[in-house]
Amino acid sequence: MNASAVLGIVGSATILLALFEMMRRHRLREKYALIWAVVAVFVLLVAAFPLLLQSVAHALGIQVPANLLFFAASILIMVLTLQHSSELGRLEERTRTLAEEIALLRLRIEQPQGLAPSSSTTQQPDDEHQDGDG
Amino acid sequence: MRGDGSDLRVLIIVPAWNEQDSIAATVTEIRTCLPTADLLVVDDGSTDRTYERATGAGAIVCSLPYNLGVGGAMRTGYRHALREGYDVAVQIDADGQHDPRFLPRLLERLDAADVVIGARFADKDDPYKVRGPRRWAMVMLAAVLSRVAKARLTDVTSGFRVSNRRAISVFAAHYPAEYLGDTVESLVIASRAGCTVTQVPVTMRARAAGTASQSPYKATLYLFRAVVALLLALVRDWPAQFDDGVTKADTQVRPDAAGGPDAAHPDAPGTDPTEVRR
Ligand SMILES: Nc1nc2c(ncn2[C@@H]2O[C@H](COP(=O)(O)OP(=O)(O)OP(=O)(O)O)[C@@H](O)[C@H]2O)c(=O)[nH]1
Ligand SMILES: [Mg+2]
């Protein structure tokens, strides 16, 4: 067994262990853990059976098998990052909705009578008259 | 609180972000022009005295916990309008560029359309001049949106507009927070949802205070972002995946809403925000 195989096996085993530990401590949601587990198992396979990589590369007509590995890895990382961006967008939309709701709730607490008829709230423009928290 | 002569309940929504120098004058002017309408200033996480000055001038102020941009502020306002059963929502800038004396004219046109834009460049002699890439962007946006809305629109980036209840229910659910989403994309959304859009020529004033966004570099960036925003708006699928704005509960007007139950029209056509025509 050569050095790169040992490196790959040790690396993927570490990722799998870390995944397990993070899930056990509720640090990682199952849906993300699954993706990373698939990645780790895949790396483990490639490291343990280098022939696998060589034969696939050969079948695809790639001269240096390592190039296939780099290509696959970069595509994978790109997809995962894209997925995170999309997830981030969804979260932003959710926090936006919450912020809007909070503002409306605050309005109802500060102005429990709702928007009173304008004529009854007529005030002169006066800068120092409110010490509001806004 | 009946709007201008008719029996419509009107809510004027003013998005304001760090506008302490102009907000009080704007609020006072709007209240003199339309004394019967309700006025809601949406303070978008301002770090200056916008909140105090707006309340001081007699506006109801709704404070967002942090800056969401014009889209977030406006959606907050439209949701409030939807829940409180307002018939008409008005959007007007806090910086004093929009003259509220045009409002009665805009409101009048609501009999023929769901959204009425107060538009510059409608007449040849409009004193408001914009040049260079910024102008090209505005012309391109106006041309494309005129086709989408099937109406002549000359100024789609105008933040001066009035909407009826049908448009309010659409905007309460979908009002983009993205760049140019608050003006351009929201019009695409309204048209796609079956709302009719029209415009009334207005003249706009120079900024009352603060800084305007004008420099050749910024104008070019503006053109570029406008193209991207427009293309996105046109190809996007509806209803948007990220939108989780309005639930069924929002379309039911609160029973204790200011106008009483007679002002509520939960059964009015087009008030279902989930029903979006392609
Ligand atoms: N809620 C909210 N309102 C904003 C924000 N930025 C600007 N506004 C408001 O939107 C309105 C228009 O903003 P302006 O900066 O004047 O934009 P504009 O009129 O398109 O451009 P110029 O006046 O030419 O600079 C004003 O009432 C601002 O207070 C923001 O981040 N959040
Ligand atoms: Mg302005």
Residue A131 domain flag: no
Residue B194, in any domain of the structure: yes
Question: Do the chains contact at A114 and B84, CB–CB below 8 Å?
Answer: yes
Q: Which of A115, A120, A124, A129 is the best substitution to test chain B (most B C-beta atoms within 10 A)?
A: A115
Q: Which residues of B touch A126 (CB under 8 A)?
A: 56
Its ipTM equals: 0.75
What pTM does this model have?
Answer: 0.79
Q: Is residue B263 part of a domain?
A: no
pLDDT at B207: 67
Does residue B228 sit at the A interface (CB-CB below 8 Å)?
no
pLDDT of residue B229: 86
Count up the domains in chain A and report the number. Answer: 2
Q: Indicate whether A67 and A44 sit together in one domain.
A: no
In a domain, A10, yes or no: yes
pLDDT at residue number A2: 79
Which residue range is the domain that position A31 belongs to? Answer: 1-48
Q: What is the mean pLDDT of residues A38-59?
A: 87
With respect to residue A94, please indicate whether it lies within any of the assigned structural domains: yes
Structural domain includes residue B274: no
CA–centroid distance, B67 to ligand 2, in Å, is: 17
| Average pLDDT of span B144-153 | 92
Does residue A122 fall inside a structural domain? no
Number of domains in chain B: 1
Does residue A37 form part of some domain? yes
What distance in angstroms lies between residue B93's CA and the mean position of ligand 2's atoms? 7
Q: Which domain holds residue B155?
A: 10-253
Domain for residue A6, yes or no?
yes
Predicted confidence at residue B233, as pLDDT, reads 84
- Name the strands in the sheet holding B197-201, side by side, starting at the edge strand that comes first in the sequence: B60-64, B38-44, B10-16, B88-91, B161-164, B115-119, B197-201
Minimal CA separation from B138 to chain A, in Å: 28
Structure confidence at residue B105 (pLDDT): 93
In a domain, A53, yes or no: no
* CATH code assigned at B146: 3.90.550.10
Give the residue-averaged pLDDT of B162-189.
90
The number of beta carbons lying within 10 Å of the beta carbon of residue B220 is 15
- Does residue B229 lie within any of the structural domains? yes
Q: Which of B29, B45, B43 is nearest to B205 (CA)?
A: B29
Task: Look at B29-38, B64-73, B174-183 and tell me which has the smallest mean pLDDT.
Answer: B174-183
For residue B141, tell me if it sits in a domain: yes
Which of B62-76, B161-175, B205-219 shows the lowest mean pLDDT across its residues?
A: B205-219
Query: What tens digit of pLDDT does each residue of A50-97 get?
Result: 888 889 999 999 888 889 989 998 999 999 899 899 989 999 999 999
Query: Residue A82: inside a domain, yes or no?
Result: yes
Give the C-alpha separation, A16 to A40, whole Å.
6
Angstrom distance (rounded) from CA B163 to CA B195: 10
Domain contains B37: yes
Query: Residue B89 falls within a domain, yes or no?
Result: yes
